[in-house]
Structures are given as structure tokens and as C-alpha cells.
Amino acid sequence: MRNFLKIGFFLWLVKTYGYTVCKTYQEIETDCVHQINYVTIRSYLLCLEKDGYISVKNKGTHHREYHINVEAYKKLFANG
């Protein structure tokens, strides 16, 4: 079930922000309609990075830039 939720979050993330996200966990939490807390968001982002769906560029303690792996995204959500 957790993987299903993580992939649902990933889909929402791309549809909401596009292929580059420049927000903190708390800012994403504010925008998130799924009503999940920033700790869960952090966990999902770390898992997505580990699985190769996103890469993270640290810009400081609270500012990170997340880049979606477009090929992995398209492969995951390809029709057929």
C-alpha cells in the first residue's frame, strides 16, 4: 500500500509543479491536497530519490531543488 501512496504522491507532484520543484517540505505540505504532513512528504521524496525517479540538488538546509527523471516518469505512467 505504501508504494501505491508514494507513486500517487509522485504523480501529484509532477502534475502540480512540473519537472522541477523548488519548495521546502513544509511548502509542499501546504499545497498538498492529500493532507499528509511534511515528514511523510520527506519520506516519499527520499524513497523516490532512492528509486531513481527524482534527483535532489541541495541549496541549503531548508531549500532543495527536486528534478523529476522524465524518462522514469514516462515509463512508469506509459499507456499499454
Q: Which fold has domain 2-76?
A: Arc Repressor Mutant, subunit A (1.10.10)
- Give the rounded percent of residues in the chain with a pLDDT score beyond 70: 89
**For residues 24-38, average pLDDT:** 85
Q: Global pTM?
A: 0.84
CB-CB contact of 21 with 65 (8 Å): yes
pLDDT band of residue 32 (cuts 50, 70, 90) is confident
* Domain residue spans of the chain: 2-76
CA distance 43 to 38: 8
Model pLDDT, residue 24: 87
Position 21 pLDDT exceeds 90: yes
